[in-house]
Amino acid sequence: MASMNTKVCIVGAGVAGLKTAHTLLNDPKSKFKAEDVLILEAQDRIGGRVLTDKTSSKLGYSYDIGGAWFHDCLSNTVLQESIDSGLFVVQKDGYFDDKDITVYDKDFNNQPVPVTDLKLNRVKEELEKFIEVYYHEDLSRKDMSLLEITDVYIKRYGDRLTSEQKKYLKKMIRYFELWDGFSADKISARYSLNDHEGRNLYNLKGYSFLLDELLRKIPASQIRTNTKVNTIVRNNKHNETKLRVETDKGIVYCDYLVVTVPLSILKLPSSHPYGISWEPSLPASITEALDATCFAALGKVIFEFNDVWWDKDVEQILHLPEETGSVELSAVLNQPPQKLIYPYLLVNYEALHKKDNKKTAQGGSFVLLTQAPLTQYLEENPDKAWDYFKASFKSFVQPGRTISEPINVITTKWTTNPYIRGSYSGVEVNGSYEDMVAQLSGEIEGLGLGYSTVRFAGEHATAVGSGCIHGAYTSGEREAAWILNHYNSLKWTL
């Protein structure tokens, strides 16, 4: 591939890129042939942050190492289309693991935190409403961290809270870290409230089904793996009618370009070995919008055991952190924290997969969701995971049972993967998100690259399902539709 021509070049073979290609090649209105669409993928595998690991388990499980749930079930296009096509049957292939979360804390000696009796959910709901109203009633209010606004609420309404409510609310609210993927001292209060459009459905089938379905109608020849894009020349002086994409395998000339690389890659300076060099540079309106966002690091640590010493029926456990004092939660970790200063969410595969028959051995497993900066540390030092977590497991070991050593520890590698560098997009204190979406989604005239043949897709380039697989999917669909419309409306052949 020293040099080649195509009509549409797509950078990135994750869900966004694959869905773009799939739509371009299969839409009834499309005039594109297979050779008109080319996907360039820097890694040696297809799928991006969708990755179903079918081989690492010693228990015969397959694990979604990337996205694992259908979020926003009321409006999740991927779920609805998969149901409609018969590919996914909710009652068989899915599991709503949304029973009230069981909460544990070191304070409560092997018993769950009495969330109901302490009315912690009511207080947490009130805090969330407080945050909403706080920024809604005065848009000019300064942003602060989720931890800080919790203190503002407690100070303002302290006379209406018990001392236990104050203490555990500050821990409970850190549950958000396991959505946002980073510690609460950095979570933007202004952006902290998630508006979920419906329930969350755990995908028992494994998200590889979605990749397989998309790949079924994309010729393998049109996906080039191990092909990293180094430079994008959007105002191509060599060939006025073509965009120029320089890879380490050669040059691609194209009429349309859809950039679906992770936000983390877009945020890198062009001089960075894994960054993209743009010629001319991206306008400041885009780079500033990118700078206002962050790239989170939700991680997973899967423990497999020869026996199930925890409640096999519990769906999710939130383990609260110890009090942290003056520790800077977001500081890079060079050694494991001395105590459990980050909350984690345990998802119990035994409960979720009980209607699934893939498991071949005795024993059982669960996964812990972690946040930055702990994720980075554990992904770099997976051998330290067991020692760090095991003391906290005393909170919920079943009475009379002994915590056994794991037979297998599997951690994600998203932060150590130089092509991914984390999990998904987010907003830190004083950041913003709408700007990036407006700049990249191409939906608002005059913003971003304007009415340009250089397009963006991915979980970060959409306000619908941002951070999610269905967000990446619909953004790919959106860009394909734009290109089809643009191409079909041309009066001449390019």
Positions touching its own copies (CB under 8 A) are: 73-75, 83, 90-91, 94, 96, 98-100, 116-117, 119, 121-123, 125-126, 129-130, 133, 157, 159-160, 196-199, 201
The Cα–Cα gap between 426 and 134 comes to: 21
User: Which one, 44 or 137, has the nearer CB to its own copies?
Assistant: 137
Minimal distance in Å, beta carbon 175 to its own copies? 16
Q: In the chain, what's the furthest Cα-to-Cα distance? A: 77
- Least CB distance to its own copies at residue 75 (A): 7
Q: Output the smallest distance, CB 191 to its own copies, in A.
A: 19
Based on CB atoms, which residue is closest to its own copies, 46 or 351?
Answer: 351
Residue 457 near residue 24, CB atoms below 8 Å: no
Q: Tally Cβ neighbours within 10 Å of residue 200.
A: 16
Which is nearer to its own copies, 185 or 350 (by Cβ)? 350
Spatial contact of 9 and 251, defined as CB atoms under 8 Å apart: no
Phi first, then psi: give them for residue 401, nearest 5 degrees. -100, 160
For 44-47, the CB contacts below 8 A with 24+ separation are 44/225, 44/226, 45/225, 46/13, 46/18, 46/211, 46/215, 46/223, 46/225, 47/13, 47/14, 47/15, 47/208, 47/211
| Residue 176 one-letter amino acid | F
Minimum CB separation of residue 94 from its own copies in Å reads 8
Question: CB 474 → its own copies: shortest distance, Å?
Answer: 15
Q: Which residue, 21 or 347, has its beta carbon nearer to its own copies? A: 347
Q: Within a 13 Å sphere around the CA of 468, how many CA atoms are in the beta-carbon half?
A: 23
User: Which residues, including other chains, have CB under 8 Å from residue 149's CB and lie 6 or more apart?
Assistant: 130, 131, 134, 189, 192
SS3 content of the chain, % helix, strand, coil (to 5): 35, 20, 50
Question: What are 446's two structure tokens?
Answer: 């005059």
CA 478 to chain centre: 20
Residue 244 has which token pair? 């120029």
473: Cα within 13 Å, side-chain hemisphere = 21
By beta-carbon proximity to its own copies, the closer residue of 33 and 160 is: 160
CA–CA separation, 181 vs 425, rounded Å?
Answer: 9
Nearer to its own copies, 125 or 328 (CB): 125
Q: CB of residue 459 vs its own copies: minimum separation in angstroms?
A: 21
Burial bucket for residue 133 (CB in 10 Å: 0-12, 13-18, 19+): exposed
Nearer CB in complex with its own copies: 12/465: 465
Smallest distance, its own copies to C-beta of residue 187, A: 21
Nearer to its own copies, 133 or 331 (CB): 133
Q: Output the smallest distance, CB 198 to its own copies, in A.
A: 5
Smallest distance, Å, CB 157 to its own copies?
8
- Which DSSP letter does residue 382 get? G
User: Which CB, 118 or 447, lies closer to its own copies?
Assistant: 118
Which two tokens mark 352?
A: 């979720």
How many helices, marked H, and strands, marked E, lie in the chain?
16, 21
Choose between 90 and 438: whose C-beta lies nearer to its own copies: 90
Complete DSSP assignment for 202-227: EETT-THHHHHHHHTTS-GGGEE-S-
CB of 268 to its own copies, least distance (A): 37
User: Cβ atoms within 10 A of the Cβ of 216, count?
Assistant: 9
Nearest-approach distance from CB 162 to its own copies, in angstroms: 9
- Tell me whether residue 199 or residue 486 sits nearer to its own copies (CB atom): 199
